[in-house]
Amino acid sequence: MKSLLVTGGTGSFGKAFVRRVLREHDPERIVVYSRDELKQYEMASDFADARLRFFIGDVRDRDRLKRAMSGVDTVIHAAAMKHVPIAEYNPMECIKTNVLGAMNVIECAIDSGVERIVALSTDKAAMPINLYGATKLVSDKLFIAAHPYAGHSHARFSVVRYGNVMGSRGSVIPFFLKQRERGVIPITDRRMTRFWITLEQGVDFVLMAARTMHGGELFVPKIPSMRIVDLVEAIAPGCKTEEIGIRPGEKLHELMIPADDARHTLEFDDHYVICPELEFWNRDNYHDGRPVADRFEYASDKNSRWLTVERMRETLGDMGVTVGGPRPAGP
Best CA proximity match to 34, nearest among 21, 50, 18, 51: 18
For the residues 30-44, what does the mean pLDDT come to? 97
Strands 240-243 and 184-187: parallel
pLDDT digits (tens, 9 = 90+) for 244-253: 998 888 899 9
Tell me the three state secondary structure of residue 168: coil
How far apart, in whole angstroms, are the C-alpha atoms of residue 28 and residue 42?
A: 22
Instruction: Round to whole Å and give the CA distance between 18 and 15.
Output: 5
**Residues 15, 82, 124, 136: which is the catalytic one?**
124
| Residues in Cβ contact with 112 at an 8 Å cutoff, skipping those fewer than 6 apart | 66, 69, 70, 72
Say which amino acid occupies 219.
F
pTM of the predicted structure, to 2 decimals: 0.92
Q: Which of 168, 186, 165 is nearest to 176 (CA)?
A: 186
**Domain limits, the chain:** 3-163+197-222+260-295
- 66 is known as an active-site residue: no
pLDDT in tens, 123-153: 999 999 999 999 999 999 999 999 889 888 9
Chain mean position to CA 261: 20
Residues sharing a CB contact under 8 Å with residue 264, sequence separation 6 or more, in sequence order:
274, 275, 276, 277
- What are the pLDDT digits (tens) for 93-124? 999 999 999 999 999 999 999 999 999 999 99
Task: Assign domain 3-163+197-222+260-295 to its CATH architecture.
Answer: 3-Layer(aba) Sandwich (3.40)
- Give the tens place of pLDDT for each residue, 148-195: 898 889 999 999 999 899 867 767 888 888 888 888 999 999 999 999
